[in-house]
Amino acid sequence: MSVDKVFIDDLGVETVIGIYPWEQQVKQMLSVSLAMGWDIRQAAESDDIARTLNYAEVAEYIQLYANEHTHLLLESFVEDLAARLINRFGLPWVRIRVAKKSTVPRASQVGVEIERSAAK
């Protein structure tokens, strides 16, 4: 069993998100960090990008998703994104942390983190 991970840290994406009326009128910047389960041995042995999880493609997919979808809650954003990433890239599991600038006094960011596995 592989415990390899491919990760992207602090990817900035803009999206319409939030429960307040003003939040539905503007795009806000989110910080997305994720670790994805992936067996890297074939890529390491062949030195061939076609045999790995291309994090540039994953990042582009996340950017497009954020641009095309709106949500009230970070929870629905991250849950839907996790399912789509697992499906699109054939991931065995993904851990995603999404944060946005805080409206909570003395907190710079608020967010959620989840870990999801592919259905067996």
**Which sequence positions are flagged as catalytic?**
100
Q: How far apart are CA 47 and CA 65, in angstroms?
A: 30
Angle at 7 (CA atoms; ends 90, 81), nearest 5 degrees: 55
Helix (H) or strand (E) holding 114: strand 109-117
